[in-house]
Each structure stands twice: as C-alpha cells, then as structure tokens.
Amino acid sequence: MEGPPTAPRRAPAYYWAPVPCFLAESPSEILGRLAAENQFSLEGDQRDAWQQEIEILRNALAGLDGTIFLEFDVPRLGSRIDAALISGPAIFPIEFKCGAAEYRRADYNQAWDYALDLKNFHKASHEAPIFPVLLATEAGPGDHTWPSPHADGVRPPIRCNPRELRQMLDVALALAQGPSLDGAAWGIAPYEPTPTIIEAAQALYSRHSVEAISRSDAGARNLRLTSRRVEDVIEQARISGEKSIVFVTGVPGAGKTLVGLNVATSHRRTEEPTHAVFLSGNGPLVAVLQEALTRDELARRQRLGEPARKGTIRQQVKPFIQNVHHFRDEGIRNPSDVPADHVVIFDEAQRAWNAEKTSDFMKRRKKLSGFTQSESEVLISYMDRHRDWAVIVCLAGRKSTRARPVSRHGLTRYVSTSPTGACTCLRT
C-alpha cells in the first residue's frame, strides 16, 4: 500500500524560533508566518492580538536565551497555547488576554490547565519545572512571587501585566533547577501520558461511578460476553507479540460504544505499557463524556471530604477519551513516531473518511498536497509502527446483518453482524 508523502516532523507551532532570531525578525515578518500557518479565517481581532503579543514578548525577552513558540499545539489534545518559552531548564506556557483589565478566574484555570497538559501528556515536559503565566494586558499589578510547586512539579500560574513579565521570568529562572532544555527537541516531542496519570485514570474508572453512561438497552449478557472477548484478544496480542484488529458491529442501540468504554476503562495494567484510549470523531460526544466523568469524580471526592480541583480531575480523564482527528493528525505530522498507546478503540469506525475526502482535507486544512491514504489507512499504519504488539478495536454501526470481507495490510476475514452486536478479530 502506498504510504503518505514524505513530510517533515510535526510543526510544533504556528511560529517558533530561538529567542535571538525572534528578536532579529521584524514584527511584520513574524505576523506573516503566523498568518501563513493559521488554518482558520484570520479575523481582525486575532491579528491585533498577535501584534500585541509580539510587541510584549519582544520587550520582555531582550537579552534572554531560549526558544519561543507562538500558538503551540499540544500533541493529540487540541490544546493551543498562545506562547511557550523554553529557557534554561524551565518551561513558561503564557496565556495572553489582550484587552483584559482584570485577572479572571476562568483565565487563571485555563493557564493552569495548559501547564498540566504539558506536564502530563508532552514527553519532554514530564521532568521539567513548569511556570505558567496569565498575562492580562490592561490589568494592574499582579502577583509578586511565584507560588510553591505542587507535587507534580507544576506551579500555579502567576498573574502579571506586560510591564511585570520580564521580572517574573527572571525570578522563575533563579528558582528553576535541572538540565537546560533543547528548545527544538522540546517542540517536536511526542504525546506520551505519564504513568501517574494512567494509574489515576484507571483508579477513577474502576469505581464504576458513571451510571448514566453505563446504561444501555442491549442485553447485559451479550455486552459482557463481547467485552470479555475483546479483552481476550488484547491479552493474547500482548502475550504473543502480535497485532490484531477487532470489529464490534451492530445496529444502533446494540451497545457498541458501551463495550468500547468498558474496554478502555477496565484495561488497567500498570506493569505494562498498555495505554488504552477511546477515540471518537464526534467532538460533542468527547466533550460530554469527559465532562460527565470529571463531574462524577469531583462529586465523589467532595462526598469523601477530599480537596479536589475540577481542572486537575479533567487531566485524569483526558488520556482515555480523545478526538480521533487529533490522533490521526499526530500520526501524519510525525511520520516516524510510534504512538504511546498499544490499544485504541475507534468509535463510529464506519464513518472514517475515504481517500478522496481525506486528501481534500489535508490539502485545504493541513497544506499537505499529494496525500493518497484514506483515514482508515492512516490510523492502521500509525498503530502498525509498534514493533511488538498492538490492538485496534473498531466500533462499527451497520444496518445489515450480512457478512462482508475486510482486507487491510494483508489481513482478510469476514466481519459478521447481528441485531445485538458481534465481535470478530483479525491478526497479523
């Protein structure tokens, strides 16, 4: 099968450069590069915000060593950080609020969540000290000292205005300890959830506290047998070092999504790198599931009298439920990287784009011409990069009960369906 066209590694941001190069470029050149990489309609407010951010950073970073990223894209999460400064051993995610005259709590939490996204899901940020910044351009004096770091090494955000930014950077660099980071290598580091987050998410789901998601009209016995069969395939693949594709099919309401969620949440082997992730192209579904799981865990902790922050709990949910398009794009951007997950569950797999639609999207939105793969081929080839084992679970809705052949990467078997759902696996 023909592979994707040769492409550079994932562009880490709309703009990135060593700080001396950033300072040597004119603001119009920097703005032009940002506009060229922008995948959306460039509105006047966004252009004005970028111009203001560039001016603030040029004043604050004079004489400082490091690397600056503008509109940094956290791998696989869809988080885009306004600016990320890498200097010495420290990471500074900066959230700009242009025109804001006060430090709003929602903005403060947004800056904190971006820092946690880096810490928990960005490989090169796992061990580094992180100093998040909330910068409100029209606000009065902010914080005078950096808060103490939490146990994970992430400090709560500092609040400051443009005039205070450089001073707070200097104070943070005096506090930061550890080896200096390579800015270019940091920018292209892959998605990799930390083991502590995986263990926390496993503990979260093992409590079975999400009653609303667990309900289904499908027969409990059929769901139990199907889930058990999928688990057997995963265990066999891990033991034998083989790669398998599992198709769970059925009519609407048969419980396919529930089976996928059960697999993702019950697969919790901390001694093996078995990161299971539930992927969906349905953005609202991803948001609803993440929010429901987050609220349930927050309520559980509050009932136990445990201190908890909603943003922190959301970090525990993100590794298991993600947008399939972010997963797909990460595989394309980094042609040689191996995904962190050995088990992936694709919901609504029958909606995967064909080669024509995928090629058109890549050309229009990702500026990658000559792309020939379908979305299914991209996802399968990405998981096929594992040298030991991998399992793909496809949840596919069907109206018919007939069998049909499926062939991918030399694998051919019949996928059967039934009114209540069925499970078939392919192996290399």
Residue 136 has pLDDT above 60, yes or no: yes
Q: Same domain, yes or no, for 21 and 150?
A: yes
Q: Quick check: helix, strand or coil at residue 315?
A: helix
Residue 8 belongs to some domain of the structure: no
Q: What is the mean pLDDT of residues 169-194?
A: 93
Instruction: Say yes or no to pLDDT of 44 above 80.
Output: no
**Do 364 and 401 lie in a common domain?**
yes
Query: Exposure of 37 by Cβ count < 10 A (0-12 exposed, 13-18 middle, 19+ buried)?
Result: middle
287 part of a folded domain: yes
Task: Please give the tally of structural domains in the chain.
Answer: 2
Domain hosting 150: range is: 13-187
The answer as to whether 401 is a domain residue is yes
Q: Please indicate whether residue 212 or residue 246 has the higher confidence score (pLDDT).
A: 246
286 and 156 co-located in one domain: no
Q: Is residue 291 part of a domain?
A: yes
Q: What pLDDT does residue 157 have?
A: 97
- More confidently predicted of 350 and 157: 157
Q: Convert the pLDDT of each residue in 267-285 to its tens digit.
A: 644 445 566 788 988 887 7
Q: Which pLDDT value is given to residue 210?
A: 40
Residues 165 and 201 grouped into a single domain: no
Cα dihedral value 119, 120, 124, 125, nearest 10? 10
Across the beta sheet with 158-160, the strand order is 13-18, 67-73, 80-87, 90-97, 133-136, 158-160
Three-state secondary-structure class, residue 404: strand
Residue 344 has pLDDT above 60, yes or no: yes
The model carries a pTM of 0.67
Domain assignment present for 4: no
Same domain, 146 and 164: yes
Mean pLDDT within 181-208: 71
Average pLDDT estimate for 114-129: 92
Percent of the chain with pLDDT over 90: 42
Q: Report pLDDT for 160.
A: 98
> Are both 121 and 173 inside the same structural domain?
yes
Whether the per-residue pLDDT at 421 is higher than 70: the answer is: no
Comparison of pLDDT for 177 and 406, the residue scoring more:
177
157/34 same-domain check: yes
Strand partners, 280: 323
* Distance of alpha carbon 266 from the chain centroid: 21
Instruction: Check residues 85 and 328 and name the one with the higher pLDDT.
Output: 85
Boundary of a domain, candidates 154, 187, 220: 187
Flag whether pLDDT at 128 surpasses 60.
Answer: yes
Q: Are 207 and 163 in a shared domain?
A: no
Which CATH number does the domain housing residue 231 bear? 3.40.50
Q: How far apart are CA 428 and CA 426, in angstroms?
A: 7
Strand ranges for 294-335 from DSSP E: 321-323
Residue with the larger pLDDT of the pair 126 and 416: 126
Give the pLDDT of residue 252.
Answer: 66
Query: What's the average model confidence in pLDDT over 32-49?
Result: 85
* pLDDT at residue 171 is higher than 80: yes
The confidence band for 422, taking pLDDT boundaries of 50, 70 and 90, is low
> Does residue 263 share a domain with residue 320?
yes
Of 167, 187, 207, which marks where a domain is finished? Answer: 187
pLDDT of residue 195: 66
Q: For all residues of the chain together, what is the average pLDDT? A: 82
Residue 2 lies in a domain: no
pLDDT of 371 higher than 60: yes
Q: What is the DSSP letter of 209?
A: -
pLDDT for 398 equals 67
- Looking at the structure, tell me whether residues 265 and 175 fall in a common domain: no
| Domain match, 322 and 217 both | yes
- At which of 150, 165, 187 does a domain end? 187
Range picked from 93-97, 105-109, 117-121 for highest mean pLDDT: 93-97
Say which residue, 102 or 192, is predicted with more confidence: 102
Question: Would residue 73 count as lying in a domain?
Answer: yes
Examine the pLDDT at 178 and tell me if it is beyond 90: yes
Ramachandran quadrant class, 318 (left: phi over 0; alpha: psi -120 to 50; beta: rest): alpha
Q: What is the pLDDT of residues 151-162, one digit of tens each?
A: 777 899 999 999
Asked, for residue 332, whether it belongs to a domain, the answer is yes
Both 387 and 271 in one domain: the answer is yes
